[in-house]
Amino acid sequence: MKYFKWPLYAIGLLVTMIATPSIVSFMLKGFLCWKEPIAGPVTAIAVVLYSYLLASNNNAMLSVIGFTLGALLANAIPDMHWYPECHELAYQRTYIPLAFTYAAGFVVLAYCIYLSKIKHNKSLNQIGAKDTPPD
């Protein structure tokens, strides 16, 4: 199983990056004209949480990797840079969806790093408690 961990992570990350915006866009169909400002942040949250929850140790590192890969992919998606046809500013350049996506991913990444530090400190305290001699 050790050899399959990283390829399975990569496949799961790719599925998360593709499935999450597709599901969110499908759920918002008919409600909103411009889905990217919602689908992007939800996808960023899902990718960072997927990376954090998958790692048994080094949660923070894997979360940073997931955030970085997600940010690079979000920057490559052309729909994240333009207002849609149904908007009054159609076909004009904007960074609103991309900024929302980065902000949501960064907030969740900061929270995951915080949780990782708490988890690490708890394990150090438990190790230290076992090593101290009784009074």
pLDDT digits (tens, 9 = 90+) for 110-135: 999 998 888 767 766 666 555 555 55
Domain with 12 in it = 2-131
Residue 33 confidence (pLDDT): 79
Measured between alpha carbons, how far is 97 from 101 in angstroms, rounded to an integer?
6
User: What number is the average pLDDT over the span 43-52?
Assistant: 93
pLDDT at 87: 81
Average pLDDT over residues 84-113: 90
Say what the pLDDT of residue 132 is. 56
pLDDT given at position 128? 58
Q: Which of 44, 29, 108 is nearest to 80 (CA)?
A: 44
Q: Do 37 and 100 meet the contact criterion of CB atoms below 8 Å apart?
A: yes
pLDDT at 42: 95
Over the stretch 63-87, which tens digit does the pLDDT of each residue have?
Answer: 999 999 999 988 888 777 788 888 8
Task: Identify the CA nearest to 43 among candidates 12, 21, 71.
Answer: 21
Instruction: Report the domain count for the chain.
Output: 1
Output the pTM of the full model: 0.81
